[in-house]
Every structure is written in structure tokens, then in C-alpha cells.
Amino acid sequence: MDLELHLGIWNTLSEHIIVTDQADAAEDFIRILIEHGADAEDIAEFAIDEHIKDALSEYIELDEDEEFDELDEDEEFDFG
């Protein structure tokens, strides 16, 4: 499973989801990835926003100081 691709898709699609619905959408997104064999720790390596990070907290113990790489607004996501 190419988690970088999946999370890149999330990054693009989340911009089109009403902000108040993004947390629920992220929880569903992470649940589906995990149900289809993704490992929460592997997802955490590529986590791209706070909604994904929060959704992962149900599956793994995150350190409070643990930081996730976030894409700069000007940075394009590399799907290749």
C-alpha cells in the first residue's frame, strides 16, 4: 500500500471538505486504511495534517512532542 499516495490524496481532497467535517472525514479515512492493512505507525511517518494526527491517536500512542511533517502551502506533493 502506497501510504504517501493515499495521504497525498487526502491532502488534496481535504481542501474541498468543510472545515467542520474534516475531523470526521479524517477518522473515516484512517479507519478505512487500517481496515485494509495499513499500519498506524507507517501512516504516522507520512502524516500531513492535524486531522490525520488526531485520527491516528485512536490507534497509536503519540508523544506530545512528536511532530509530523507538513507540506508547505507552496510545496507540491510528489506522486511519482
The structural domains of the chain, with segments of one domain joined by +, span: 3-56
**pLDDT, mean over the chain:** 81
pTM value is: 0.69
Of residues 76 and 3, the one with the higher pLDDT is: 3
Contact 57, 27 (CB under 8 A): no
Task: Look at 76 and 44; give whichever has higher pLDDT.
Answer: 44
For residues 35 and 70, give the distance between their C-alpha atoms in angstroms, rounded to a whole number.
25
pLDDT tens profile 12-50: 999 999 988 999 999 999 999 999 999 999 999 888 789
